[in-house]
Copies of this chain bind each other. A is one copy, B any other.
């Protein structure tokens, strides 16, 4: 019988879900643990029993979201070989997940984690983003992407799409992100691809 354990697990998850919602809407500093208590109906004592302190909730949230993204990227890497296919698949995935779970995306991209998680690396150095950089690196080695600084290549490919996600999260775009995928991708890729001799 693990019913009790399961109930505890469920509570754990309920706390995380509500924290994500509140953190993205009001921000980390504007949401108190009392707020989480009120909305989840889980007592303050339990919350502290599960997480220890407020920062730890934020950290657990971040870890979980980054892990999810990391897994998605590794899966994409095993399903596609060229940098071109991989990068496009990643952008497509980011667009879809931004629509399906905007809070998670918002939290990862938009929150300044370093303000309340001082020991955290910047997003761009997190595991999934490092993977994306690796993909670009091998694309350069393979001659798919023209010779250029790695960081410049990475921002040239992903900078536009990420910016577009911000616009969407800020409510500026009318259409859903996948609607813009092809146009956006065309610009990104055309910018970094090896130049045809005639041009």
Residues on A close to B: CB < 8 A?
Answer: 26-30, 110-112, 114-116, 122, 124-125, 148-149, 151-153, 155-156, 158-164, 166-167, 170, 172-173, 180, 183-184, 186-192, 195-196, 198-199
CB distance from A118 to the nearest CB of B (A): 9
Across the A-B interface, the 7 shortest Cβ-Cβ residue pairs: A191-B191, A159-B163, A27-B115, A159-B160, A156-B187, A187-B191, A159-B159
Contact of A199 among B26, B27, B198 (CB under 8 A): B198
In the bound complex, residues from chain B placing their C-beta under 8 Å from that of A190 are 190-191, 195
Give complex CA distance A162, B164 in Å.
Answer: 12
Q: Is the CB of A152 within 8 A of B187?
A: yes
